[in-house]
Amino acid sequence: MEVRSEGVQVRCDKLPAPVIPRTRLQVWFIRVCSSILIWTCLVQLVAVGELWQPRLLGRFSNVIGLSKVSIHVEEVPSPPPLLPPRNYISNGFLKVSCNGGLNQMRAAICDMVTVARLLNLTLVVPELDKTSFWADPSDFDDIFDLKHFIDSLRDEVRIVRRLPKRFNRKYGYHPLEMPPVSWSNEKYYLQQILPLFSKYKVIHFNRTDTRLANNGIPLDLQKLRCRANFQALKFTPQIEALGRKLVQILQDKGPFLALHLRYEMDMLAFSGCTHGCAEEEAEELKRLRYAFPWWREKEIVSEEKRSQGLCPLTPEEAALVLQALGFDKDTQIYIASGEIYGSQRRLVALRTAFPRTVKKEMLLNPEELWQFQNHSSQMAALDFMVSIASNIFVPTYDGNMARLVEGHRRYLGFKKTIQLDRKKLVEFLDLHQNGTLSWDEFSLAVRAAHEAKMGQPARRRVIPDKPKEEDYFYANPEECLCERTSCEDLLGSPSSSTTTQQGTS
């Protein structure tokens, strides 16, 4: 039988059989199988493409003329794999509030990591000092790379960003607050601090400066202090980027000397050093000293302190000392410091002797520094980076930054750091300025006094029962400097400096 419709002939015996509707389960099954088949084909095509890609691209580029074009794609290095976390039963939470400036807090953080490891504690990310002279509102993660800090120490100590809610004050929990005893060793923390955690679970150390001894600490804990300092405490990407830019600007102009000129208002007020200041400036510094009740010394005789070598050099004195050490007027000098007391007036002699004297404010645009304004610790971090990278580092006072930079430069291969003997220098300066020592005699005396003070390998000085007079661990972490050689070969016989006469400087 045939059916004709508008010139189209269709044979009825060839019509398809009626379509049987599929169930939902069948439709779903067909779709799944199709997807699997398609993805399998794609995977195979990608594999074949990667195998043939170099040849195909080479032939294709010759055809279209791209063989002469060099395209460089910079590979982003993948982060190192995380070490497995250390598995231990925590004895409690250690909360710490650091006090002082950036570098004082930096050393304290490393000490608290070590204490947490020793006592099997969980460390809460340290709180930074916001009430000191600088009133810097920065939190830990405003200065340091917090994720890197936690991850890089996970195989040693568990670090959390905050206490669990059940330990919050709003839930009625009050941790034990206390400052640990200064310069304490392993025995103190194990015998006197650890038992307290069984009762309180959370202890808050409200002062952390110099709470761990320089010496008498097990080697593995000393190395952990170094690891926290040199590897875990990395600045934020913003600080790192701007610090590297500063270093590059300086290096493009040749070798440079970083002068840590600690002639700042807080240091002069705290120390009572007013040499070279006008009478009204001395009174201003005294008023500031009385304004901070935790600065214990109030009535200070400036010249007595200066004669004992306990004052930072003035900018004028620093200029004379650098000239006596043999630095000429073409030396590039970077001033690593905050605002110099007396401002530009006090820098005239230094800039006259060394015209290539600069500060970060002269090398960077105001817009680049704007994000760090009123954040003294973040500004100090930039100076820290430049000081570490400098060809020569010269601090005019042995404060926390000077000592930590010195130790870091030792760690990087004993880069030259001139450790000024201020007690001798004050004597030489006075003799030269009153005409007793000629310039040549003055210069010779200054150089002779510093031949062995250039950051060479040396053993850390130990004075039993007088930890304040010992060499500071972070200035000379000798346990961390002997990875590739014998300490005896590098530093000399241990017996030569295990104990030292108290008068040695």
String of DSSP letters for 142-162: HHB-HHHHHHHTTTT-EEESS
What's phi and psi for 255, nearest 5 deg?
-60, 155
Give the model's pLDDT for residue 62: 37
The first and second tokens of residue 301, run together, are: 């005789």
Neighbour tally for 11: CB within 10 Å: 9
In 172-286, the DSSP E strands lie at: 176-178, 202-205, 256-260
- Residue type (1 letter), 464: P
For 5-56, how does the pLDDT look when each residue is reduced to its tens digit (9 = 90+)? 444 444 444 444 544 455 666 656 666 666 666 766 565 654 444 444 433 3
Sign of the alpha-carbon torsion through 502, 102, 156, 111: positive
For 464-475, how does the pLDDT look when each residue is reduced to its tens digit (9 = 90+)? 989 999 999 999
Q: How far is CA 184 from CA 64, 224, 358, 469, in A?
A: 74, 17, 41, 15
Flag residues of the chain having pLDDT under 70.
Answer: 1-37, 39-79, 483-505
| Separation of alpha carbons 115 and 63, rounded Å | 67
Q: How far is CA 269 from CA 54, 84, 118, 131, 496, in A?
A: 70, 48, 38, 17, 38
DSSP tally for the chain: helices H, then strands E: 20, 11
Helix (H, G, I), strand (E, B) or coil at 40: helix
Beta-bridge mates of residue 2: 11
